[in-house]
Structure 1
């Protein structure tokens, strides 16, 4: 089987087994396309002919061309996934990326809102249908830390407003149940009162009554941020970051925050411990007499 056909088989397997989002699947396709193009440029006809030194040279070439370290790490992750699949299928006898490492990533902490900023953002004024929908949408984002795809995919049957819970389908089609706070419940009840709250109907509707698209949600965030005069770049994932940071800051329970966010690996959640430490460091610098910088009052 030619490399291109093997890549197509892997992508079909990935779609069936892990059910990634179309965006994620496209990213895998692009990353594997880069591998195929590089193999063709180097006259490598099969994956068996790839050796770690050759792959390391390919990564170095992409690095020189200006590909960011995060993109190179994702590239290698996509290639590793392909090679693991081929090995499991008995189509590859060795690992072409064994020992190959991408450039070290510089940890970039996510931006978050403080409690006052978050409260101001979600307090959408107005009683018209659009304002009622937007208020419920923002309150639920901040209350439960949902991903954008999880929110746009919600149906009324996924919500238990009496119990204050929401059932979401996360990455890898994993189900989890997340608490919904009082303010979000009130906003969702107001949205339900607008009509069309059957169990199989989308909670958040866009045009023609269909489920709102991710792009529409992103645009609404920008419009609401401009209306409120926010100086920060406001986007849906910002409220997920803010939810996680505020939960960890108040509880100190990293494992609970991992479960609420639906992270498969706790290492993904640990980035919020750095945010929490930044907050503690600011409090320390402001309060401790020995911590003040020289010349400070």
Structure 2
């Protein structure tokens, strides 16, 4: 386990990997370590066929293709790190492919639903804060971790920009819309704070991701939304709506902070779904509508 601990420390300190990803890697590598111990194999002596047997055993145990992909991704990263540091001569994970998982399109809010959610009343307890939080979330497409970590000095409201530290410690600047700027200004006026203070404070420092998740669920119910609303849904909605209006996939990739444009391309499928609905509804020969006399 010493090698695993060193690898996780590298991710946390040098790569600045998120706590959520670290926990996932820790679980995945702990499962591999337990399997290797059961079979009397040292992790640094593991061969490709043995790693393939581990993945097969996990599959028989009921893990989904998506979970197996994550397991194998953690193994690849771990053995690549061991190889780079001279602790092994070759990676057993290099030639192994995980089973394909069906690609599930993310659910999004339509424009009217998004507007209904973010326009929460401000004349109730925490209303001003909630409006600022939701407007910024939807306006800039931030990750939950990015929003929670935000400090006032990261916002340039006069210029309509926010600077965030994304995955892998990569910094990017994202526009902030006029509604979000007004909501943030109102929030700062209600609760003045230093430039180093969290934009959205919690009880002990910045607001926690869990607190945001729970609050968002409460607000969605209060606003009469039937969909299950979670923080990433606002990011999905932001991406889908920007792409739908602009058609600029590269631009959306930069706004979201995706390292690989393939990650962003899922939103082209969402956009096509929208266009297909428009076509079916509007084109006279797109699809025959059922009438009263149809069987």
Alignment partner of 1:227 out of 219, 222, 226: 222
Please say if residues 132 and 187 of structure 2, whose CA atoms lie closer than 8 Å, have aligned partners that are also in contact.
yes
Higher alpha-carbon deviation: 101-110 or 13-22: 13-22
Deviations 1:172-220 (A, max 9, x none): 1111110000000010110011132321111112236x32111111111
Please say if residues 163 and 172 of structure 2, whose CA atoms lie closer than 8 Å, have aligned partners that are also in contact.
yes
What is the match of residue 147 of structure 1? Answer: 143
Alignment partner of 2:201 out of 202, 205, 208: 205
What is the match of residue 19 of structure 1? Answer: 16
Q: Which secondary structure does the structure 2 equivalent of 1:66 belong to?
A: coil
Q: Is 2:5 the partner of 1:8? A: yes
Listed as ranges, the matches of 1:217-256 within 5 Å are 217-256=212-251
Q: Distance in 2 between matches of 1:272 and 1:45?
A: 43
Deviations 1:146-185 (A, max 9, x none): 0111111111111111111111111111111100000000
Q: Distance in 2 between matches of 1:45 and 1:247?
A: 50
What is the deviation of 1:100?
A: 1.2
What is the deviation of 1:20?
A: 1.1
What is the match of residue 126 of structure 1? Answer: 122
Q: Distance in 1 between matches of 2:196 and 2:125?
A: 20
Higher alpha-carbon deviation: 81-90 or 13-22: 13-22
What is the deviation of 1:11?
A: 1.3
What is the match of residue 27 of structure 2? Answer: 30
What is the match of residue 183 of structure 2? Answer: 187
Q: Which secondary structure does the structure 2 equivalent of 1:207 belong to?
A: coil
Alignment partner of 2:267 out of 260, 272, 275: 272
TM-score normalised to structure 2 length: 0.95
What is the deviation of 1:113?
A: 0.5
What is the match of residue 98 of structure 1? Answer: 94
Alignment partner of 2:166 out of 170, 180, 193: 170
Please say if residues 129 and 194 of structure 1, whose CA atoms lie closer than 8 Å, have aligned partners that are also in contact.
no
Please say if residues 169 and 175 of structure 1, whose CA atoms lie closer than 8 Å, have aligned partners that are also in contact.
yes
Please say if residues 120 and 223 of structure 2, whose CA atoms lie closer than 8 Å, have aligned partners that are also in contact.
no
Q: Distance in 2 between matches of 1:127 and 1:276?
A: 36
Q: Is 2:58 the partner of 1:51? A: no
Q: Which secondary structure does the structure 2 equivalent of 1:229 belong to?
A: coil
What is the match of residue 73 of structure 2? Answer: 77
Alignment partner of 2:131 out of 132, 135, 143: 135
Please say if residues 122 and 131 of structure 2, whose CA atoms lie closer than 8 Å, have aligned partners that are also in contact.
no
Distance 1:241 1:296, change over 3 A: farther
Q: Distance in 2 between matches of 1:294 and 1:193?
A: 54
Distance 1:66 1:278, change over 3 A: same
Moved over 6 A (4+): none
Count, aligned residues: 292
Aligned CA-pair RMSD? 1.4
Q: Distance in 2 between matches of 1:138 and 1:296?
A: 43
